[in-house]
Amino acid sequence: MRPLEALGAEQARALRGVVLDLDGTLLTDGRLTSDAYQALGALGASGLRLVVCTGRPAGWGEVLLPQWPVDLWVAENGAVGLYEGPDGPRAIDRLDPDARRARRERLAAIAQEIEGRFPQVQRAGDCALRRTDVAFDVGERRRLPAAEIELVRAAAAELGARTFTSSVHLDVTLDLDDKATGTLHALWEAWHEDPTAARTRYAYVGDSANDAACFAAFRTSFGVATVREHTGALSVPPAFVSPSAAGRGFAEIADRLVALRWRAERGPS
């Protein structure tokens, strides 16, 4: 990983958009700070599309997409998306409603089995807003030891489910997408962005092992400072790392991108 100052103007200028994680990246201890929110606006004003890619629920996107200066919301670790079409919000889901309903029923049975085996595991408070997964709280309001998380993950795999672990949740799902494949699919559905080209046209910003797929997929990638704690779990680390963590680190990355794009557009002074 290189320091943020190593990012060059040509690379920044070639970007069409930025894909960003929420918890631990844009959000600081679950809250959106003023400098992080202003950074979103500055990135958009520089001509970049903004894509949120998160393990948080689709219901968050339904509320926040019209309010925040972002263009596309990819939720539940890539399983579903939401964007503003010419006639209003449009959802992105690989399954039709009947197939989605059947999958949710199978997932509900798996979640109940996990809860029966691990009574100390509690569902996250945002589960009612989810379409494709069940989230268990491992770090948001209560802290579950890493060894116990691994036991739950193993049980989910035994039951035929996949898992994603973030700084706050253990998400259990039957969907096949991860953050990278889901984002690339959503970019195609929303704007017909070629998936191969999008890997170089969009940058990714994240903070943890949950972002591993995107760090590997996108040529220009950034980690906020806390990503250093997760490098052992990353087959491909982010290309650049910010000096600070969470929202402050995101703002530093945004400031660098905006400054370089402004300089490239106007030329040297």
pLDDT at 261: 95
H/E stretch holding 73 reads strand 72-75
Do 238 and 118 belong to one domain? no
Matching residue, tokens 């969907």: 175
Q: What confidence score (pLDDT) does residue 267 get?
A: 54
Same domain? For 6 and 89 the reply is yes
Q: Are residues 67 and 54 in the same domain?
A: yes
Instruction: Please report, as a single letter, which amino acid is at residue 51.
Output: V
Angle at 53 between CA 11 and CA 213, to 5 degrees: 70
* Residue whose C-alpha is closest to residue 250's, from 4, 52, 26: 26
> 74 lies in which domain range?
2-94+177-266
Q: Percent of the chain, pLDDT > 70?
A: 98
pLDDT on residue 266:
56
Given a cut of 80, is residue 265 above it in pLDDT?
Answer: no
Q: Are residues 82 and 105 in the same domain?
A: no
- Nearest in space to 26 (alpha carbons), one of 6, 55, 4, 47: 55
Structure tokens at 198: 């999008």
One-character DSSP codes across 77-127: GGTEEEEEETTEEEEEESS-HHHHHHHHHHHHHHHHHHHHH-TT--B-TTG
| pLDDT number for residue 150 | 97
Rounded CA gap, 211 and 165, in Å?
10
Can you tell me the mean pLDDT for 218-247? 96
Which of helix, strand or coil describes residue 217? Answer: helix
Taking Cα atoms as reference points, which of 154, 102, 167 lies closest to residue 131? 102
Residue 268 pLDDT grade (very low, low, confident, very high; cuts 50, 70, 90): very low
How much is the pLDDT for 85?
Answer: 85
Q: Is 200 helix (H, G, I), strand (E, B) or coil?
A: helix
The verdict on 81 and 11 lying in the same domain is yes
CATH number for the domain harbouring residue 129: 3.90.1070.10
For residue 204, is pLDDT > 70? Answer: yes
Does residue 4 carry a pLDDT above 90? yes
User: Looking at residue 9, what is its pLDDT?
Assistant: 96
Q: How confident is the model at residue 269 (pLDDT cuts 50, 70, 90)?
A: very low
231 and 128 in a common domain: no
Residue at a domain's end among 148, 173, 198: 173
Q: Which of 170, 116, 112 is nearest to 146 (CA)?
A: 170
Question: Per-residue pLDDT averaged across 127-154, rounded?
Answer: 96
Q: Please indicate, yes or no, whether residues 70 and 104 belong to a single structural domain of this protein.
A: no
Question: Between residues 87 and 134, which one has the greater pLDDT?
Answer: 134
Cα radius of gyration rounded to whole Å, the chain:
18
Q: Are residues 181 and 52 located together in one domain of the fold?
A: yes
Distance CA 11, CA 16 (A): 11
pLDDT tops 50 at residue 235: yes
Are 167 and 201 within one domain?
no
Shortest CA distance to 257 belongs to which of 33, 47, 2, 37? 47
**Above 50 in pLDDT, residue 245?**
yes
Mean local confidence (pLDDT), 12-19: 98
CA angle at residue 133 from 132 to 139, to 5 degrees?
145
**Domain tally for the chain?**
2
Provide the pLDDT for residue 264: 56
116 lies in the same domain as 89:
no
pLDDT for residue 89: 86
Give the CATH number for residue 25: 3.40.50.1000
Q: Which of 150, 173, 196 is the last residue of a domain?
A: 173
Domain's final residue, options 153, 173, 193: 173
Total residue length of the chain? 269
> Do 45 and 56 have their domain in common?
yes
Residues 9 and 76 in one domain: yes
Q: What are phi and psi of 145, to 5 degrees?
A: -55, 150
Q: What is the mean pLDDT of the chain?
A: 95
What is the mean pLDDT of the segment spanning 237-261?
A: 98
